[in-house]
Amino acid sequence: MPYDAGRLVVGCGNVLFKDDGFGPMVIHALEDYFKENNLEMPKDTQFIDAGTGATHFIFSMPDDNWKKVIVVDVVEWNAEPGTLKIFSPYDMPKGKYENAHTWPVEEPLHDLVDMGIEVVIVGCKPKEITAPDVDMGLTEPVEAAIPKAIEMILNEL
């Protein structure tokens, strides 16, 4: 499936490791939001559950149509679990934004910005990431952050 829309909303993370699954869970909640409210999906927009493959399979192979990429993921920073914040790729806490395989995500996002693509990150402070131990389901504060994350994403579209 090509990712050739003008705006991408990319949920990153691994649902097997507790709060690391925040990004994919928000993507599915967004899709449910449009269905339950009988709303049309925004034109020229794709919602993508990227799991742990976004860094190498999406961000490193941009399409000429991309104008904006909204990344949804957990981000470690000094805040209460479940706190949400919009980050730019340049204000991510150094060394705190990696995927489950410890690949830094900042560089491919910087490359997208250098190509003229607007990139924003909707980051959620996790309470618990259990990797390498499998424990599915979000913690209560991170689960409670999903409606606010949807609101933030809709404001960015």
Is the predicted pLDDT of residue 93 greater than 60, yes or no? no
Is the predicted pLDDT of residue 1 greater than 70, yes or no? no
pLDDT value at residue 106: 72
Is the predicted pLDDT of residue 120 greater than 90, yes or no? yes
pLDDT digits (tens, 9 = 90+) for 45-72: 999 998 877 766 777 788 899 999 999 9
How far apart CA 48 and CA 59 sit, in angstroms, is 12
pLDDT over 90, % of the chain: 58
Q: Residue 43 burial (CB < 10 Å; 0-12/13-18/19+)?
A: exposed
How far apart CA 38 and CA 142 sit, in angstroms, is 26
pTM (predicted TM-score): 0.89
Is the predicted pLDDT of residue 24 greater than 70, yes or no? yes
Region of 41 please: left (phi>0), alpha (psi -120 to 50) or beta.
Answer: beta
- How is domain 7-156 classified at the CATH fold level? Rossmann fold (3.40.50)
Sign, CA dihedral 132-137-138-139, equals negative
Mean of the per-residue pLDDT values for the chain? 88
Closest CA to 154 of 81, 6, 45, 50: 45
Task: Go through the chain and tell me how many residues it has.
Answer: 157
Separation in Å, CA 37 to CA 30, 32, 63: 11, 8, 31
